[in-house]
Amino acid sequence: MTSTDVAPEKGSWTGTAVRRKEDTRLLSGAGTFVDDITLPRMAHAQFVRATVASGRLLSIDLSEVRRVPGVIAAYTAADLDLNDITAVLDRPLEEFVPTAMPILARDRVRFAGEPVAIVIAEDAYAVEDGVEAAQVEYEALDAVPSEEVALSAGAPTVHDEVPGNTLLDVSMFATEGIDDVFASADCVVRVDTRSSRQNALPLETRGVVASWHARDENLLVQTCTQVPHTVRTAMARSLGLAENRVRVTVGDMGGGFGIKCVVGREEIAAAAAALRLGRPVKWIEDRKDALTASFLGREQHYDARAAFDSEGKILALDSDIVCDMGAYSCYPFTAGIEPLMASAEMPGVYKVPAYRVRARGITTNKAPTAPYRGVSRPQFVMTMERLFERAARELDMDPVEIRRRNVITRFPYTGVNAITYDPGSYLEALNLAEQLVKDEGWYELRESAAAQGRTIGIGYCCFNERSGYGSDAFAKRKMSVVPGYDLAEARMDTSGTVVVSTGTLSHGQSHETTMAQIAADRLGLSPDQVKIQQGDTERIAYGWGTFASRSITIGGSAVSRAADRLGEKLLHLGSHMLETTPDNVELYDGTVRRIDDPDQAVGYVDIADIAYLRPNLLPKATEPGLTGSGDFDTPGDGTFSNSTHAVVTELHPGTGKVEILRYLCVEDCGVAINPQVVDGQARGGIAQGIAGALYERITYDDQGEPSAASFIDYKVPTAAEIPDVAISHLETPSLLTESGAKGSGEGGTIGAPAAVVNSVNDALRHTGVEFDATPITPEQVQHALEAHS
């Protein structure tokens, strides 16, 4: 089956639901994930992990480990002598305190599950026998298991150099006169919103196969990361190697969702062991470790106020944000990633005239966090949406109407948060979502249901999704490592087919298909004739990988430009062969043809034949070969997708179950390269958002011991819990990207929690109960229903 089974719509591959090129391989079990890799003499690694959340490491005795049959070696931090990883921001110490993350814990452990020693054995079974045999002595210290403890007076410290356990503390904007606005406003509402700690839960856990290759004089690191070049840099520095001694490659990948866009320590320890032993070493994170000791996310707390006038217009927003970042700052983003995102973008789609925010990133004795899909936006959007819902109640206004009066309608719009928004369809999306809910009769059902003793609610969420963060946008956050731009190269071969390399990296987003569509349109080819190359630091000049919905926006634009450069060469050579000028030729269906006489054409194969095999026939001063390279960096503040979600829920008395009866999503990601892929992103994101709203949470006891070590306790929803999602599309093309596309990777996850929570609260409107913390559990709902029945 080929992608050309689908005819291009509108005369272009862009906008066509081309079948995914990846599917044949992935659906037939022929994909290659890390655990599919086996090398000769390969050994297996696992880690001795801390059994206390906070403690001094008194001694590590690995002598019994080394006697276990099948065990090859066992190393502590002292044995491997690796450099720490330290993520930094260009900010003064009052705002940000950098902390080092050792590869293996040295004298102190900071979360239950922290790697203390690495064990290498002949197989995956013996290595666990070895891990069990380790004797580690700790002096347990008082743990910091929560925000409450972390910020209390006299709290124990997670890092000695961080008094008060606050890694990042910024106060921003503080519009002049904001206190007066609150004092004189008709309506002031306040919410206290919380989101639980979650696991992004890629189906493929973390893992690596590291091996030294004498012939290439390099360490080959086959791993599943969203950011191969970043991993190369961190790994080379930690191991004390030059970067040209480290090659990072990525095969198929079972998801990342952000927890793989930071650098993990286990992969580096495994690589160090491989170098030490002269044998390939494989480490596959098991699910228990993935749930307890991987990078987690999402735990945030907002104390927010908003002032409104009597007409429901928002006048001011004041927010105090605390993000519980866990034990370590993630590299390269730091523990500032979530609080800085939240404080910069909280006003969202609304015209907020006055704004003040304090945002903190705190450290606790829990597994560290990484920027999980959505990155603070699910939480601050929920906070904003709760504020609007509460104001609507106070003012006795319709919840849609109050939003309508406040969404940004004129673009470009520069907000109080000093961000300039490119054109979007905020009002149109809201109106369409409301219309769909009305047309489907949900309002009538909600009213008639009450008479029948049923409890039904309707909830909305309006939001935008900033995407394609360029170098400017990251620099504005004072990040000292500034991702943004990306590079691409297009190479045509003698058969007239093309390989396009990109510095972005699909880990489930279908870039082999969508990037090929982009290049195919630029080159007059079909996507089948374009192969995408990604995920190899020796084949790709440089790249920032895939996160923050940057791939189609930035990577796709670089691909467009690289394809255009190649196209220019084709036009140049083609015009020469057709004995006309370059401005009288165009690319068409694998040929260069004359514009004045389209029957006169020369095929790419014939052009390539000269470019590669008969350079003597090339025009003067023309280099042999057919390549083009391109780069792209989004100017300004990036490009904003937008969406409105509408959810109808029914609450079941007697169990408290929340049943989602209907889920509607109106989205605008500009030009959709492949609508099917966009829909997939929305649906997957919404599933993860529902997971956050109703199911998933990792709790810790007062000693910092995590509650969820398996899927029995960690309630990731299954297909049975996730409803069908009806998706409607609007299209406001981006003026910043080459294709007009905006990012669409995170929207679903951003909008779903607020929409679901608002819907549940609407269903409970007769009770006075309002939920502002996620997940909402059946027991809580049952309690709310009972107390007011």
Nearer to other proteins, 169 or 696 (CB): 696
User: Under a CB-based contact definition with an 8 Å cutoff, are residues 120 and 44 in contact?
Assistant: yes
Nearer to other proteins, 286 or 623 (CB): 286
Q: How far is 582 from 572, CA to CA, in rounded Å?
A: 6
Q: What are phi and psi of 718, to 5 degrees?
A: -105, 180
CB of 446 to other proteins, least distance (A): 23
If we measure between CA atoms, which residue out of 396, 400, 309, 392 comes closest to residue 352? 309
Nearer to other proteins, 282 or 511 (CB): 282
Contacts of 95 (CB under 8 A, 6+ apart): 89, 168, 169, 170
Nearer to other proteins, 245 or 287 (CB): 287
Q: Which helix (H) or strand (E) holds 231?
A: helix 228-239
Q: What are phi and psi of 773, to 5 degrees?
A: -125, 145
User: Under a CB-based contact definition with an 8 Å cutoff, are residues 268 and 283 in contact?
Assistant: no
Nearer to other proteins, 123 or 398 (CB): 123
Q: How far is 697 from 776, CA to CA, in rounded Å?
A: 10
CB of 367 to other proteins, least distance (A): 17
Nearer to other proteins, 132 or 139 (CB): 132
CB of 284 to other proteins, least distance (A): 10
What are the start-end ranges of the E strands in 50-107? 55-61, 71-76, 85-86, 100-101
Q: What are phi and psi of 45, to 5 degrees?
A: -115, 145
Query: Would you call 187 helix, strand, or coil by DSSP?
Result: strand
Angle among Cα 189, 192, 198 to the nearest 5 degrees reads 145
Nearer to other proteins, 532 or 694 (CB): 694
Token reading at 780? 């809580």
Nearer to other proteins, 285 or 489 (CB): 285
CB of 735 to other proteins, least distance (A): 44
3-state helix/strand/coil string of 267-331: HHHHHHHHHHHCCCEEEECCHHHHHHCCCEECCEEEEEEEEECCCCCEEEEEEEEEEECCCCCCC
Number of Cα atoms under 13 Å in the Cβ half of residue 312? 20
CB of 710 to other proteins, least distance (A): 7
Q: How far is 33 from 207, CA to CA, in rounded Å?
A: 9
Query: Would you call 192 helix, strand, or coil by DSSP?
Result: strand
Token reading at 478? 């004072």
Contacts of 444 (CB under 8 A, 6+ apart): none
CB of 779 to other proteins, least distance (A): 4
CB of 720 to other proteins, least distance (A): 4
Token reading at 702? 């007062």
CB of 40 to other proteins, least distance (A): 22
CB of 776 to other proteins, least distance (A): 11
* Residue spans of alpha helices (H) in 133-207: 147-150, 178-184
Burial of 176 (C-beta count, 10 Å sphere; 0-12/13-18/19+): exposed
Nearer to other proteins, 207 or 638 (CB): 207
Q: How far is 181 from 187, CA to CA, in rounded Å?
A: 10
Name the percent of the chain in helix, strand, coil, to the closest 5: 30, 25, 45
* Positions in the binding site for other proteins (CB under 8 A): 124-125, 128-129, 132, 286-288, 654-657, 695, 699, 707, 709-710, 712-713, 715, 717-718, 720-721, 777-779, 782-783, 786
Q: Name the residue type at position 53.
A: A
Q: Which helix (H) or strand (E) holds 181?
A: helix 178-184
Nearer to other proteins, 356 or 366 (CB): 366
Nearer to other proteins, 128 or 731 (CB): 128
Q: How far is 506 from 220, CA to CA, in rounded Å?
A: 20
CB of 687 to other proteins, least distance (A): 13
Q: How far is 251 from 505, CA to CA, in rounded Å?
A: 10
User: Under a CB-based contact definition with an 8 Å cutoff, are residues 119 and 69 in contact?
Assistant: no
CB of 729 to other proteins, least distance (A): 31
CB of 46 to other proteins, least distance (A): 9
Nearer to other proteins, 381 or 694 (CB): 694
Nearer to other proteins, 362 or 690 (CB): 690
CB of 121 to other proteins, least distance (A): 11
Nearer to other proteins, 438 or 788 (CB): 788
CB of 345 to other proteins, least distance (A): 32
